[in-house]
Amino acid sequence: MKLKDLREDIDRIDSRLLALLDERMEKSLLAKAFKPEIADPAREAAIIDRITRSSRCLAGPEFTGDLWKRIMSESRELQSRSPRTIGFQGEHGANSEVAARAWDESIATMPCREFADVFDAVRDGLFDYGIVPVENTLGGLIGPVNSILVYTDLRIVAAVDIPVSHCLLAVPGTDHREIRSAWSHSQALAQCRSFLSRNKLEAKPYYDTAGAARMIAQERPRDAAAIANRFAAEIYDLEILKDDIQDAENNRTRFFVVSREAAKDGGNKCSAVFFTENKAGALFHTLEIFAEERINLTRIESVPDKPGDYAIFIDFEGSDKDERVARAVDRAREATRDFRMLGCYEERRV
């Protein structure tokens, strides 16, 4: 083993330590909701005692104890600030997190494994908000998210539309000529198919784009790279070998921000979901109501529900405080089955 190898091992361990520290802080912030007071001297003393007794650190138990005291002090400070929280699907660096920060750069972002976990955590009060993708210009409708929106009690309080740019990321100092494979989510790999083919890179599917970047940062392979965004490169200290490698230029994703409560200001756009009778002209009649009220529809999508039944999503301009909108909604409720407003909100296009 050479000095270079040892330093690479140290870099790999540092990456894991930072990820674990961030995860600990996230859990500490969420724990505040279940505690009557921020400070818990008995709990902290028990942790310090356990850490110092079980420490096998070459730096000694005193160093370990002092380190944990500093970590817990920072945790208390974080809990006292009590920033608002928003859940997203994927690892840190995911496009959903980019969209969340575009909506509110001061909010604390919390990763979740599945889309359903985001909705459940907001519903249960663990997170203040959740952010989920609903449609992409290349991939179309995000089916799993829209299927949950059909029945959720959460309200849409904002929408964010962001450009999606894929980059080829690798460990700093990697020779691009040695790279043989690229890891990423299957959709990202499909969107970069031409680039991968031109550069003779084997596509390696991974559960998440940012997760692939995190894996490359931790495992530090010399013959592999990740396809993710610039934000993931910054978080995991990866080098951008090539940016904008997606095959199509107009690659954008639209996200909904959901909450337990409706937006207070009403906004300038609304979303609704409903079912129509299975007969000719039923959907046309419903859409005609909005045309007669001179309301502009900006999205019409159908999502399979039960066999032979489809949920219809519509987005339209205006607010439920507008007389024309209120009148159209009342008429639509009479003409459809289970018509439900999902929310009125402001939409931001980045």
| pLDDT (tens digit per residue) in 110-160 | 999 999 999 999 999 999 999 999 988 877 778 889 899 999 999 999 999
pLDDT (mean) for 279-295? 86
**What burial class does residue 208 get, using C-beta atoms within 10 Å of its C-beta: 0-12 exposed, 13-18 middle, 19+ buried?**
buried
Q: Which range has the worst mean pLDDT, 88-92, 240-244, 245-249, 269-273?
A: 245-249
Identify the pLDDT of residue 255: 97
- Regarding predicted confidence, which is higher, 249 or 50? 50
Per residue in 272-281, pLDDT (tens digit) is 999 987 776 7
Residue 344 confidence class, pLDDT cut points 50, 70, 90: very high
Q: How far is CA 134 from CA 159, 249, 313, in A?
A: 10, 20, 11
Q: How far is CA 249 from CA 120, 185, 190, 207, in A?
A: 35, 19, 14, 24
Measured from the Cβ of residue 282, the count of other Cβ atoms closer than 10 Å reads: 15
Identify the pLDDT of residue 295: 93
Q: How far is CA 63 from CA 40, 44, 120, 232, in A?
A: 22, 16, 40, 32
| Helix, strand, coil percent values for the chain (each to nearest 5) | 40, 25, 30
Structure tokens of 160?
Answer: 């964010």
Q: Which of 88, 255, 256, 290 is catalytic?
A: 255
Domain boundary (58, 81, 104) is at 81
Identify the pLDDT of residue 309: 79
Identify the pLDDT of residue 245: 94
- Same domain? For 33 and 98 the reply is no
Evaluate if residue 249 carries a pLDDT over 90: no
Q: How far is CA 150 from CA 145, 146, 290, 303, 304, in A?
A: 9, 6, 21, 9, 10
Mean pLDDT taken over the chain: 90
CATH code at position 261? 3.40.190.10
- Same domain? For 257 and 344 the reply is yes
Q: Which range has the worst mean pLDDT, 183-187, 247-251, 321-325, 326-330?
A: 247-251
Evaluate if residue 308 carries a pLDDT over 90: no
Amino acid, res. 311: A
- Same domain? For 124 and 234 the reply is no
- Regarding predicted confidence, which is higher, 267 or 270? 270
Q: Are 166 and 246 in contact (CB under 8 A)?
A: yes
Residues 229-240, buried b or exposed e (16+ Cβ, 10 A)?
bbbbbebbebee
- Same domain? For 150 and 280 the reply is yes
Residue 10 confidence class, pLDDT cut points 50, 70, 90: confident
Per residue in 199-215, pLDDT (tens digit) is 999 999 998 899 999 99
Measured from the Cβ of residue 81, the count of other Cβ atoms closer than 10 Å reads: 9
Identify the pLDDT of residue 350: 86
Whether 63 is catalytic? no
Identify the pLDDT of residue 58: 83
Residues 17-56, buried b or exposed e (16+ Cβ, 10 A)?
eebeeeeebbebbbeeeeeeeeeeeeebeebbeebbeebe
User: How much is the pTM?
Assistant: 0.87
- Same domain? For 221 and 327 the reply is no
Whether 256 is catalytic? no
pLDDT (mean) for 92-111? 94
Domain boundary (242, 272, 298) is at 242
Identify the pLDDT of residue 342: 95
- Same domain? For 152 and 269 the reply is yes
Q: Is 317 inside a domain boundary?
A: yes
Which residues form the domain of 116? 85-163+253-349
Residue 173 confidence class, pLDDT cut points 50, 70, 90: confident
- Same domain? For 159 and 257 the reply is yes
Identify the pLDDT of residue 294: 93
Q: Are 319 and 268 in contact (CB under 8 A)?
A: yes
Q: Is 247 inside a domain boundary?
A: no
Q: Which of 109, 209, 253, 276 is catalytic?
A: 253
